[in-house]
Structure 1
């Protein structure tokens, strides 16, 4: 009995082990997620000179600006606010770096000290103070037993706990069986009244709690899509509707085809406004806000392409401060697509630099490099074959590998 207890205690102390392949995959996944969050920004230069960017990663330094009325870019967060109390805000639209301006009490930006006193077009919400949702709690919440996933509204850009978005107990967030989002954008219940005009569009713009096939999307009746999520029909840290782990940004070919078919279907349902005609066939400015129950909206993939862009509708969006909805580059999907392209280009440049380095060596140097790689591979293989696989690899083990390589090199030289 005592022996069993000792074995159990020993098992609890054993650290979980991972294979080299799993470790490398984990690093790759973390690097990809970081690139998606930062938009592929290496953090080398302050973004102030680029003006108000359509979307960028933003941070709030509560050490420098306790009231949370300022935001800084990635580069300034690293260079000017290292060791400070910094709040990660994910991404914000139409924002210009504040680092070192009048809000920072005379502390100039190390990367770009020549800045205007204020950026008048910047918008700040409670997130800059480290508070989120209708409950105004921090994230992560130190008082919470477990951290609950949050969703970002694509209008106000605040983050909400799923239990605080105004859904009735019978209503569900559109997700598949594995919990992955079936919607592209989320509009919170506080912002949905300003977007009540969306109820004038066919139900194909609403995300369904069931996966809708492309054929169903094309044949669905524009006045009542089966299984559709609509504000006027029977209804059942994410960013602009995309989950924080960014997996929902990986669209399958079926989903892409579905989006194209939905767009084609709605073009016939609404009409084409390529000649300046309104898709809705009415003056949207005369449509009063809907007085129905205030509730959140979940929009399907590709819904922005459906919005009418005639003069009257465009003016309507601008007056309500939601003109960004017709800008494809505003969406998180487009932001992450840009980040992936930058990442791929960076990897190709690294591979090219490595190839150029090898090609710049003479024959003897190339042989020495290849020989060194082979020696390291053989030494590592020998280590794996000789060690107990149940035990974790320690720093001493790694040092011993390089010591053995150094000894072999000395014997050969």
Structure 2
């Protein structure tokens, strides 16, 4: 890339100075990348095929188009690394209730290197267009080679497809719940193709919906409605928000988005919904009598903790199962829980690494400990000397790093 420079009379193109970073900034960047990878992979080290664990509630999945060009197979992280290195692989982020296909009948006789004994197929696996490298209603790849700019995509928590924000059935992008800085105010998204299956959500209070009109976390959410009380539906002739949910002023008055967490939802809904004790239905309505609005389908944007509000009585539970959305009442299905578990695994792994390092140091005798500490101090001093004499406008090259260690080696030879 070139930048324009000049002295007022002449102009010339000069090479843009490569940006420089400190060692601390570099290490922070590495730490952030490792954390992001752990969140996507669920803390999976990628050492063992997950096939033996059966259909996992949620795991990172990859599709190898080299081995299965029609994209109807998925492999786990370990198999992606061990069996498909160098292949054309599509990263699918996470999929629910999935079992690794690597080496089964879909792979034309090529066995899995990590777990060769597998059933011919995994009948409970579900495959969508993502496995072929296509996304959204436009069925485009990501990244899109024909796009001038890669547009952000969001994932539906029902079908798990990814959608461009201007392809989700809204009249305006301004209706997507965001704060003043453009950050999402919703926890989960249900696409306009799946929202008819979840039409029963409109029987619930407004607290389960993320407001698209909330421009500030401190701005109060207000609405006017008769709402639902106790076990009655009370949804006739009530005001609806943009998702069509009944709004109850008394239950949500002066409630900010930041306070709209799981506890707040449970507290504000308690006076509106039934308590679900003794198998009673929270909404007090036969959920099977609800029907979708056939004239217009819209995406749903759900607030934090909305799943905890869902009724789990027998009637509602059967309704979810019949429509293939029983996972909504499974806490371990959500991305939030998946990432929480990943963070716990990462913390445990870091603790084990620190413990291993401490055990190694403790296993050394006094002389060996002094030698290691001296070596660390020498390296620190050498790096410090290098940084003090180095021109910060120039990039650090491999030759520079090599010279640092050569200097350390020469100093060690002189002292020995």
Question: Is the pair's TM-score, using the shorter chain for normalization, greater than 0.5?
Answer: yes
Tell me which protein shows more helix as a share of its residues.
1
Which residue of 176, 187, 191 corresponds with 1:188?
191
Q: How far has the Cα of 1:291 moved from its partner?
A: 3.2
Q: How far, CA to CA, are the matches of 2:329 and 2:270 in structure 1? A: 16
Alignment match, 1:9: 13
Name the SS of the counterpart of 2:14 in structure 1.
helix
Q: How far has the Cα of 1:223 moved from its partner?
A: 3.0
**Change over 3 Å in CA distance of 1:386–1:195 after alignment to 2:** same
Name the SS of the counterpart of 2:400 in structure 1.
helix
Alignment match, 1:240: none
User: 1:182–1:211: 8 Å Cα contact kept in structure 2?
Assistant: no
Q: How far, CA to CA, are the matches of 2:10 and 2:79 in structure 1? A: 52
- Alignment of 1:223 with 2:227, yes or no, is yes
Map of 1:290-301 to 2, 5 A cutoff? 290-301=293-304
- Alignment of 1:74 with 2:77, yes or no, is yes
- Alignment of 1:365 with 2:368, yes or no, is yes
Map of 1:117-156 to 2, 5 A cutoff? 117-156=120-159
Which residue of 332, 336, 357 corresponds with 1:333?
336
- Alignment of 1:309 with 2:312, yes or no, is yes
Name the SS of the counterpart of 2:271 in structure 1.
helix
Q: How far, CA to CA, are the matches of 1:222 and 1:400 in structure 2? A: 76
**Change over 3 Å in CA distance of 1:276–1:255 after alignment to 2:** same
Q: How far has the Cα of 1:8 moved from its partner?
A: 5.5
Map of 1:217-296 to 2, 5 A cutoff? 223=227, 229-232=242-245, 255=258, 258-296=261-299
Q: How far, CA to CA, are the matches of 1:112 and 1:334 in structure 2? A: 28
Q: How far, CA to CA, are the matches of 1:183 and 1:133 in structure 2? A: 19
Question: How far does the alpha carbon of each residue in 1:106-149 deviate from its partner, in whole angstroms, 9 at most, with x for none?
Answer: 00000000000000000000000000000000000000000000
**Count of residue pairs brought into register by the alignment:** 394
Alignment match, 2:167: 164
Question: How far does the alpha carbon of each residue in 1:57-110 deviate from its partner, in whole angstroms, 9 at most, with x for none?
Answer: 000000000000100000000000000000000000000000000000000000
Alignment match, 2:324: 321
**Change over 3 Å in CA distance of 1:347–1:8 after alignment to 2:** farther
Q: How far has the Cα of 1:178 moved from its partner?
A: 1.6
Q: How far, CA to CA, are the matches of 1:6 and 1:399 in structure 2? A: 40
Q: How far, CA to CA, are the matches of 1:6 and 1:109 in structure 2? A: 64
Name the SS of the counterpart of 2:336 in structure 1.
helix
User: 1:99–1:108: 8 Å Cα contact kept in structure 2?
Assistant: yes
Structure 2: runs of 5 or more not aligned: 229-237, 248-256
Name the SS of the counterpart of 1:70 in structure 2.
coil
Name the SS of the counterpart of 2:186 in structure 1.
coil
- Alignment of 1:399 with 2:412, yes or no, is no
200-209 or 108-117, larger mean C-alpha shift: 200-209
Alignment match, 1:64: 67
Q: How far has the Cα of 1:233 moved from its partner?
A: 6.8
**Cα root mean square deviation, aligned:** 2.6
